[in-house]
Chain A
Amino acid sequence: MTAKENLFAHVAATPGAAKLDPIIVAHGIRRSFGGLTAVDVEHLEVQRHAITALIGPNGAGKSTFFNLLTGFDKPQKGEWSFNGDSLQSHSPAKVARAGMVRTFQLTKALSRMTVIENMRLGATGQGGEGFFTALVPPLWRAKEAQISVKAEELLTRFKLIDKKDDFAGELSGGQRKLLEMARALMSDPEIVMLDEPMAGVNPALTESLLKHIVELREQGVTVLFVEHDMHMVRRISQWVVVMAEGRIIAEGPPETVMLNTAVQDAYLGAHHDTDLSEDLS
């Protein structure tokens, strides 16, 4: 845990705090649907090589913010960069190729494809994905073999290797989450963005999911994840960003961020500790 101290030792626990070495910098991002402002983030920096959690009550705009950062949705205004390069008006595919890969809240396993084919699809640099190259197998067979080796390594790590020839649709909900995460790793991303990785996963698999997320950081991958469960957040994240009503209301280390009154108000309501008995009598 020494790395943790080093990375965040001098970071102020205030919304929009500057980080030592930010991989993502977002500024003035605003997305509204009609009259409703879903996301209004003034400033956010995400620390490289760390696990950052994005939490907040339902409807706080976490998933929308994820969609904006990864190109699946477009904000009305705002700018954001990844490794110093602007990602504005990039397609989701381009964002992914730049090294920022996401997963989805509702798991998107490709049901009628086998587990190993799901994995292979995650790889980058396969020339056989071009139409004319695809017609000439000798041009892509070698690369395909490389990809398969890597896919099987990852499947072994995620304990899905026994299922490799099953259709992804035959897996349990938790296994699909694992598959989606493993598939995201096929492209060696610099950052993985996990949208509620623990949702709907049974406790036994939750443990292994948490372990995998920690392993990712140890291998130098940056992780940004959305989660509801504070208990999970406290266990694995090094920094917590709290959103409510589209804004970032607090940032800080997991041990102390929940003590922040703004956070407690957001989660429990501003009058949660007011005695209402007087009004009733």
Chain B
Amino acid sequence: MDFIGLLTDAGRELFAPTTAAFALAAIGLNFHFGMTGLLNMGHAGFMLLGMYGYAITVREIDKNGGQFLGLPVGPGATIVIGILVAIVLAALFGLLLGWPTLKLRGDYLAIVTIAAAEMVRFLGRSQSFKNLTGGSTGIRGTDFKGPFESLSPFPDRQVTVGPFTMHGSISTSWWLVVISWSVVAVAALLFWRLSRSPWGRVLKGVREDEDAVRSLGKNVYSYKMQALVLGGVIGALGGVLWSFGSAVAPDSMGRPTTFWIWTSLLLGGAATVLGPLLGSILFWTSLVLVKGLAAMFIPDSWLDPTELEPFSLMLVGVTLMVLVIFRPQGILGDRRELAINDR
């Protein structure tokens, strides 16, 4: 493998749709943790629900000959309905998780979310729902990607921009790049707007001390629920973006995914507007770089090629640990916040 090729691959991760999908999910988590202090350890569950909600809806409409509830719908309307289903599922999931746990201390939410996310994954891959979710093999991309790709204004062939070559409209395409980052931009704007509003102020108060906010006459439970649902819905949209470029596979949304999102968020800087974006970009780029360099310089006799992936993940993990130890506020975090972090 040549060095230029590796740099190109790493450079591609800077703007890849998967990077955008993770950035979007990290923005959702930022509403939970950065703004409200909720410990959601099952973000991948929200993403997976979004993927299933979208993919299954679109596939079924397609199977029905382009009809939804007896009405003919075009590709645009099909996508909108799919996304709405994803949003509703994530919102219901958030309500269900928050209802028993948000009155308790934060740790309980962490325990419940991690278990609930695994439940979503196991239900998805179980044989009982094979007709709906495709079991452990998931849903093939060709079953639901049609409507999105058909709307592409870009050419139906490989397109080269600078050193990067991608298809114009299909799978991981320029079309998807444009849409993904537009959605991320809108979400970042939403975070910026809300974090500087009285609503965001109440959430930050909840993060700092719930009882103090209660004593000032705010309904803390309701605010925590709003944050949980909003962040979860954004996470689900991250899942939808992810599924635009690939198939739906339940095992790609397991616990590691949740921790990668956490890593991205903490790396970039929790509670900052651009932290999730920067964190996601750095995470994916460095992962590709480390993997490529390891393949180049470590001889096969030392490390089997199949071990490269876990090895590079481990290395990235160690690097991030070092970063979080020496710069816990993340790259974009406010230094002053550290000085007073007395807890």
Query: A residues touching B (Cβ–Cβ < 8 Å)?
Result: 70, 72, 91-94, 96-97, 101-104, 108-113, 117, 120-122, 124, 126, 128-131, 133-135, 137, 140, 144, 167, 169-170, 180, 183-184, 186-187
Contact = CB atoms under 8 A, between A and B. Distances in A.
A113 B198 contact: no
A92 B208 contact: no
A135 B193 contact: yes
Most buried by A among B197, B209, B339: B197
B214 A96 contact: yes
A92 B215 contact: yes
Given A126-B198, A170-B339, A131 B226 contact: yes
Given A72-B211, A110-B212, A120-B198, A97 B337 contact: no
Contact of A169 (B215, B219, B342): B342
B234 interface: no
A135 B200 CA distance: 10
Given A121-B205, A169-B342, A72 B197 contact: no
Nearest to B209: A108
B197 A96 contact: no
B329 to A, nearest CB: 10
16 contacts: A70-B215, A97-B217, A101-B216, A103-B215, A104-B215, A112-B337, A113-B208, A121-B201, A124-B217, A126-B198, A128-B198, A129-B199, A129-B202, A167-B336, A169-B342, A187-B217
Nearest to B226: A131
A113 B205 contact: yes
A129 B216 CA distance: 13
Contact of B199 (A91, A96, A128): A128
Contacts of B340: 111-112, 167, 169-170
Given A128-B197, A128-B199, A131-B199, A167 B217 contact: no
A40 B193 CA distance: 49
Interface in B212-230: 212-220, 226, 230
A170 B201 CA distance: 19
A96 B201 contact: no
Contacts of B230: 131
Interface residues of B, number: 32
B59 interface: no
Given A135-B190, A140-B197, 9 more contacts: A91-B214, A92-B215, A93-B217, A97-B217, A104-B212, A110-B208, A113-B208, A121-B205, A130-B199
Contact of B214 (A72, A120, A184): A72
User: 8 smallest A-B Cβ distances: which pairs?
Assistant: A169-B340, A134-B199, A96-B217, A128-B198, A108-B212, A134-B197, A110-B208, A92-B214
Most buried by B among A128, A140, A186: A128
A92 B215 CA distance: 6
Contacts of A113: 201, 204-205, 208
A147 to B, nearest CB: 9
A109 B209 CA distance: 8
Contacts of B207: 112
Contacts of A126: 198
A206 to B, nearest CB: 22
B209 A110 contact: yes
Contacts of A120: 198, 201
A172 to B, nearest CB: 12
Contacts of A117: 201, 204
A140 B339 CA distance: 32
Given A111-B208, A112-B208, A144 B198 contact: yes
B199 A102 contact: no
A183 B209 CA distance: 14
B194 interface: yes
Interface in B325-343: 336-337, 339-342
Nearest to A133: B199
A129 B218 CA distance: 9
A92 B209 CA distance: 14
Nearest to A98: B217
Contacts of B208: 110-113
A141 to B, nearest CB: 10
A94 B339 CA distance: 35
A93 B336 CA distance: 31
A137 B193 CA distance: 9
Contacts of A92: 211, 214-215
A149 B199 CA distance: 19
Interface in B57-116: none
